[in-house]
Amino acid sequence: MVDSPNAADPFAAFTWALGHGRGLTLGPRGVLMAIVNVTPDSFSDGGRFLDVEAALAQARACLANGAEILDIGGESTRPGAEAVSAAQEQDRVLPVIERLARETDALISIDTYRAETARLALAAGAHIVNDVHGLQREPDIAAVVARARAGVCIMHTGRGRVKAEDVIADQRLFFARSLEIAADAGIAADAIVLDPGFGFAKEASESWALMARLGELQDLGHRLLIGTSRKRFLGAATGRDAAARDVATATTTVAARLAGGAIFRVHDVAFNRDALMVADAILAARP
């Protein structure tokens, strides 16, 4: 476990240290990270933003609706998705990141587990590396983050490993290894946020248990990124297809914010902006 300032209070102001000398205050209000998938096969919006101009237009719309971070991904992480090469991934994301860095003041995240893609994306202007394998698939990615003094989102996954029976115990087991990798590489504690990985090799019941017990993760010492947007466990509860799960997503955004979530990775920024405004109003009214 690596301690962060104000870790005991997830609503206290904390500056997340990011690449290129940037920083973002987390704690007093919820922050939105917009999903911009430059892919043909993502589970909800695959193919819609594969063209560079379409991806840029979507990114700008997300910023206008209240997103503070743009998460750019070039490989689908849905179960059964076809793998792409590093070159394919880079060809998709780098032109988008370069244009966004040149034409906007947005905070840019690269959604990748590949060390070389992360290095190139940070050089192109990205500020954050979002690794869905928690630094454990290509451990060299941690050194890339450390050298660039970038921010990093370390996500929990159950893929390719034997999980502990209890969902919180498994979170602790996985993150202990990821945080060890981060510390050994020299990543600063204030550069790290943790993502519980809703839906990643988790049954619907596991994701709901994780949501119900989210507050138990606060003692890991890092702010939490919540990624529930349009995921299958929401469909299991509502019976709705992926494209019709934005209302369900917003309800989990409220629940997770009240439990101490800091950043919310979403497809529909406007829906979730309103959800966060409601949650933050509730928090402000607490004694």
277 lies in which domain range? 29-285
In a domain, residue 24? The reply is no
Domains in the chain: how many in total? 1
250, amino acid identity: A
Q: Which residue has the tokens 């991904």?
A: 73
- Active-site position among 231, 245, 257, 273: 231
Choosing from 119, 163, 230, 265, which is the catalytic residue? 265
The length of the chain is 287
CA–CA gap between residue 101 and residue 188 (Å, rounded): 24
CATH number at residue 100: 3.20.20.20
- The answer as to whether 1 is a domain residue is no
2 part of a folded domain: no
Within-domain flag for 11: no
Active-site annotation holds for 149: no
In a domain? residue 53: yes
Paired residues of 108 in beta bridges: 70
pLDDT tens for residues 13-53?
Answer: 999 999 999 999 999 999 999 999 998 744 454 445 668 99
* Residue 6 included in any domain: no
Span 145-202, pLDDT tens digits: 999 999 999 999 999 899 999 999 999 999 999 999 999 999 999 999 999 999 999 9
Whether 265 sits among the annotated catalytic residues: the reply is yes
Could you give the 3-state DSSP secondary structure of residue 59? helix
Within a domain: residue 244? yes
Asked whether residue 207 is domain-assigned, the answer is yes
Cα 219 off chain centre by: 19
Amino acid at 170: D
